[in-house]
Structure 1
Amino acid sequence: MGATGREASAQATATDREIVISRAISAPRELVFEAFTEVRHLSRWWGPEGFTTTTRSFTFRVGGEWDFVMHGPDGTDYQEWISWTEITPPDRIALLHGESRDDPDAFESVITFAPDGAATRIEMRTLFPTKELRDEAVEKYHAIEGGRQTLGNLAAYVTEIVRNGGEG
């Protein structure tokens, strides 16, 4: 059944505001999910290449928050804030991500973790409030390449855990 005109228009609009990045990771889904949900793991891989992360506070539960600073390779600090809006282990996490709790430009992300043979297919689907904010994220902050690098860092991290027999 085809979408109505209104539904098709809404889909096109959402697509203009969205970034979708996925990757297969050679690790069990439960481990990939854990690496995304425990601060001891997140601080080891989160962010694009050359970035480090300092966590101020972290509470992983619906309504909980992760307040952190990403440190760029050029020395620039980026204030970041995430609130978890849905947690369905080990399948899905939804969150709101901005610079602070009251950031009017905060964006929504849904991360899914699907079995892919012995690997895990992770997909990050990010929806921005406007097409302009999405375009700015892509052009000014290199969000697509940064997202790919972030998932690459995650893949390398969990692959190393598997190689070392499960200790992170």
Structure 2
Amino acid sequence: MKEEIKSAVDFLTNIIRSRDDVNETQTRQFNDSLTNLLSDRYQDHWFPEKPFKGSGYRCIRLNHNMDPLILQAGNMCGLDLLFLESSLPPELTIWVDPRDVSFRIGENGSVGVLYQTTRDSQSQVQATPSQSTSTHMVQQSSDNSFHQMNRNFNNTIMACKDQFMNVLPSISREAVHYQQFAGFVSS
């Protein structure tokens, strides 16, 4: 859980750090505060054997409203709501799941990976602090090449809507209500 939380918090911290009017002490305090808040929140909602269980509870969501934990961490280090809203994208979703941390900027944006590891392997994929798209990832294991990792990423990551649609194949894909419900689930 620590590595997953660290990747999500570092991602948000690096966005805030890019501002000229924030100092290193504030960003370090924000990082520490948000790490502690998320650790407390996820403590009884972390299921490595069922990584999607509790996924909605662990989701960090900005949809023109500030996520309460981000706001609380900001307030703890002197970063107010106005500063956070002007620093972070208005539409941002971060899914913090066991062995996988992904993000999406905008409602229809592509899903990018911040952290990913398999149960059987210690190899990890982690975005570097200054990179914000899934195509610019660094592999920390020497076992596989970057191209193999990128191929695996493209074959395994699906949007939430696509995942939902693949779970219930018995429902007709042409059904309008099914498409609308899948879109609602993904938002």
Q: TM-score, normalised by structure 2?
A: 0.29
State the structure with more CA Rg: 2
Higher relative contact order (CA 8 A, sep 6+): 1
Higher fraction of strand? 1
